[in-house]
Structure 1
Amino acid sequence: MIPLVTDAQKAGARVGLKSDSIVINGGKRLEGRIEVRGAKNLATKAMVAALLGDTPSLLKGVPEISDVGVVRGLLEVYGVKVTSPSPGELSFDTSRVESAHFAEIDAHAGASRIPILFCGPLLHRLGEARIPDLGGCRIGDRPIDFHLDALRQFGAVIEKGFEGIHLTAPDGLRGADIELPYPSVGATEQVLLTAVLATGTTELKNAAIEPEIMDLIAILQKMGAIISVEPNRVILIEGVERLDGYNHRALFDRNEVASWAAAALVTHGDIFVGGARQTEMMAFLNVFRKVGGAFDVQEDGIRFWHPGGDLKPVTIETDVHPGFMTDWQQPLIVALTQAHGVSIVHETVYENRFGFTEALNEMGAQIVVHKEGLPDHPRRVARRDFEQAAVITGPTELHGANIYVPDLRGGFSHLIAALSAEGQSVISNIGIISRGYEHIIDKLETLGADFVYEG
């Protein structure tokens, strides 16, 4: 049964959505210019990093998304004074950081998993940290074991109770030699945020090296940290006694850029994404061109459009950076339903990320999900035990449907499928999309989408 007040509705309310459902009249070309600001996956982590500074921090290019609102609420629970000097900027005064109770943390965290990243900074500031039950998109098992194991190696003592997890550091935190079993972005962030003030040196092996990680390292270096990125996914962090605040402009949101690029393909449209940069998008741009999309890199952004003619099938393997991001495959799959031939997407990062294809099939797509993957298919990325594969046969005509959004990226995929489909669609639970897409309704209006709020 769908809850009376969902986390998505709460998320939508934070950013001013008038309803949790919209009615879309499909078949209209998207055209125009939209802007992207800082990456969801960087801005929220940079906000947590402010806890480490003894002086105020200023973050620029902050997107107005519900996840930013969640982290702001959590920081304020801990006594951080958060202000907005101007649109897209947040200032953090950490001079009065204090402990918070499980109930307060849980009330603000909602569906976010961000509280786990508060642990290292809070252990340094307060000597303790608390984590409630964690939420997030239901795209597969996201265990926090990597985080907790790393924190234990730093010297944290972890106690699990009915309310959540309580962490202390009776002897302080000290540097450690840590090797991740998988180059997890979240676990890498955890180590960075903890190691910078730990006593001694930390060596992190098999680290994630996504652009958002590099941007977080740049922030920490501005604060006074000593961090070296070595070859072969090794990061060395020399602990320091104190850190100052930072002044930083967040890296643009690569996932939002890829999503709007896919929307241009799906709707035979022409979308200029202001703020996008080529360097961080190269893996996506290669695939976009192979499919048959056109793009033009300009100084202030990238233009994406459907140049006419048939789209081509491709084979994609998601992977950690510098590979093809898992967050890019979902909206691109919608475009692949219109390619002439058979496309294959191997998902190697999450084990349950093709659930959104069920709604696409109801709309007329022909997508078969192989839950054990395709082991005999030629590969570049090493197989993982839980990986899946989606086989997409196209082109197929999509028609309108009633869809309940399951997760952030899948929800955007359903949205653009409805925008390209024949007939009318009702998209519900759209608040989830607002977790990672700033001003989603305004941008749809700017691009000429035909829709209204339901009710």
Structure 2
Amino acid sequence: MDLVDMPVSTAPYYLITGGMPLRGEVSISGAKNAVTKMVIASLLTAEQCTLRNVPLLGDLDLTIKLCQGLGSQVQLEDHTLTIHTPEVGETRISTTVGGLNRIAVMTIGPLLHRCGEVSIPRPGGDRIGPRPIDFHIQGLQQMGAKIVERDGLYYCSSAKRLHGATIKLPFPSVMATENFLITASLAKGVTIIENAANEPEIIDLIKLLQKMGAIIELKVDRRIVVEGVDRLRGAGHTLLSDRNEAVSLAIATYLTRGDVYLRRAQQDTLLTFLNTLSKMKLRFEVDDEGIRFCATDSPPPAIALETDVHPGFMTDWQQPFTVLLTQAEGISVVHETIYEDRFGYTSALRGMGAHIGLYTKCLGEVPCRFREKEHMHSCVVRGPTPLRGTKLFIPDIRAGCSYILAALCAEGTSEVYGIEHIERGYEELDAKLRALGAKIEKVENA
């Protein structure tokens, strides 16, 4: 049952009273966008892998269940995960687990290498516009996979060992790049990924694969070259910190005019975000252990902002930053170039009192796939505008976080429903906010 069909009286929700300045210190968890891919990468070997600084998330739970269904032995203690798959006992991924997000597509390469066949359900995921797996399917077919879609399932097989190929991505897709890195590590010969994504989480995955024995080189002009090896071994790895969580908590600090130290926030993964803060005259202090974010009493100036592939301004930062812009002085512009339908959440912000307009025109300079395609992918925000507490329904992870941020700085009380999206993508976000002084309560309904 979707949340829109669920009676509000039975759904758990956050009860948030705004206006409380956040103060103190919390630690940033491991990266959500890295951990699930590393768990899948462990399927490449029959030896044990150990992952440290693992975030405890709903997405990780789903990935663990998926791997256990294939035969993996998994232990999760505190924030350390060990996974061992000496044999793959099942090659069909169930719809109940694999259909809830897109992680199942990442299993095709490992299971073809180990078993020669696999079937996966058509993937699901956040409702932020189409996120097809065409790039994945086409690239895997270039490497020798035979893939047929029938009755909502993809049936995949390979008579021989997968082989290297030159794969040119039409767009620097993060997940497709990760998929080809994992698959190419055991493919025969050399694989060249052209127009590859190079996000910090991808570099962290490469570090794990190299520890397992993979040979991967980063070239100029977004090229990654993978020389396939005959076998991979088990390895241990400590995950990088979650840059999205760091951004969310930093913006919450500015919105509430607080002062917060984020331990384990990493400057190198946040360079573009920190540069944007500097342009808005927002204060932060970096040291070897983390970053302190400290607000001022006056509203920051407006800004023009464009999302882009790394090292540009991350699309996942757009939603929380738009909330911040509702409190900036003047007219700000946000141009979204990664997803065509990621401003749906702004209708809820308008309901709270924000002045936001959406446009199909490209309001920016970054080359955009959506030019003249009638997608509402540009946003104009006028501020500062007082926000009012209200009842909110979360459609996806990042929009949901923006609703929480808006509620934290709004006048009065908000009820935020659909919190399973938050728990899927953030580790105990409500507890961390409470530790910093926020008035946020999780209400469980029968």
- Give me the TM-score of the superposition, normalised by structure 2: 0.95
Once the two structures are TM-superposed, the CA of residue 54 in structure 1 deviates from its matched residue by 2.7
Who is 1:303 aligned against?
A: 292
Deviates most, 160-169 or 409-418: 160-169
Runs of 4+ in 1 over 4 A off after TM superposition: 1-6
- Supply the distance in 2 between the matched residues of 1:406 and 1:3 (Cα, whole angstroms): 9
Who is 1:223 aligned against?
A: 212
- Supply the distance in 2 between the matched residues of 1:174 and 1:5 (Cα, whole angstroms): 47
Residues 99 and 121 of structure 2 are in contact (CA less than 8 Å); yes or no, is this contact kept in structure 1? Answer: no
Map of 1:43-442 to 2, 5 A cutoff?
Answer: 43-84=35-76, 86-102=77-93, 105-109=94-98, 111-370=100-359, 372-374=360-362, 377-379=363-365, 381-385=366-370, 388-442=377-431
- Supply the distance in 2 between the matched residues of 1:409 and 1:254 (Cα, whole angstroms): 13
Once the two structures are TM-superposed, the CA of residue 4 in structure 1 deviates from its matched residue by 8.7
- Supply the distance in 1 between the matched residues of 2:88 and 2:240 (Cα, whole angstroms): 27
SS at match of 1:187: helix
Does the alignment pair 1:20 with 2:5? no
Once the two structures are TM-superposed, the CA of residue 438 in structure 1 deviates from its matched residue by 0.4
RMSD: 1.6
Once the two structures are TM-superposed, the CA of residue 238 in structure 1 deviates from its matched residue by 0.6
Once the two structures are TM-superposed, the CA of residue 62 in structure 1 deviates from its matched residue by 0.3
- Supply the distance in 2 between the matched residues of 1:341 and 1:74 (Cα, whole angstroms): 48
User: In structure 1, what residue type is equivalent to 2:83?
Assistant: F
* Shift in alpha-carbon separation, 1:213–1:183, aligned structure 2, 3 A: same
- Give me the TM-score of the superposition, normalised by structure 1: 0.93
- Supply the distance in 2 between the matched residues of 1:330 and 1:320 (Cα, whole angstroms): 16
- Supply the distance in 1 between the matched residues of 2:65 and 2:382 (Cα, whole angstroms): 45
Residues 98 and 126 of structure 1 are in contact (CA less than 8 Å); yes or no, is this contact kept in structure 2? Answer: no
- Supply the distance in 2 between the matched residues of 1:183 and 1:124 (Cα, whole angstroms): 25
Q: Identity over aligned residues, as a percent? A: 44
SS at match of 2:270: helix
Once the two structures are TM-superposed, the CA of residue 126 in structure 1 deviates from its matched residue by 1.1
* Cα deviations by residue, 1:110-129 (Å, 9 ceiling, x for unpaired): 53211011111111111112
Residues 28 and 420 of structure 1 are in contact (CA less than 8 Å); yes or no, is this contact kept in structure 2? Answer: yes
- Supply the distance in 1 between the matched residues of 2:407 and 2:102 (Cα, whole angstroms): 29
- Gap runs ≥5 in structure 1: 7-17
Once the two structures are TM-superposed, the CA of residue 2 in structure 1 deviates from its matched residue by 4.2
Residues 3 and 418 of structure 2 are in contact (CA less than 8 Å); yes or no, is this contact kept in structure 1? Answer: no
Residues 30 and 270 of structure 1 are in contact (CA less than 8 Å); yes or no, is this contact kept in structure 2? Answer: yes
